[in-house]
Amino acid sequence: MLIEKNITPQTVYKKVKALDEKLLEFEKAVKDGGDISAAAKNTNPSLR
């Protein structure tokens, strides 16, 4: 994982929001009894 030098509250907020949206996508896939690998493929590599 890369360590960013200029961390601002805005960048933290954006990353947390993106992770939160991704988590909701995974939860929905699991609830639907679906395949989470499809949700994983759409994951931005920087969020893994």
What's the length of the chain?
Answer: 48
The percent of residues in the chain predicted with pLDDT above 90, rounded, is 23
pLDDT band of 17, cuts 50, 70, 90: very high
Q: List pLDDT tens digits, range 19-38.
A: 999 899 888 878 877 666 76
- C-alpha 48/C-alpha 45 separation (Å) is 5
* Domain regions of the chain by residue span: 9-47
pLDDT band of 10, cuts 50, 70, 90: very high
pTM score, whole prediction: 0.51
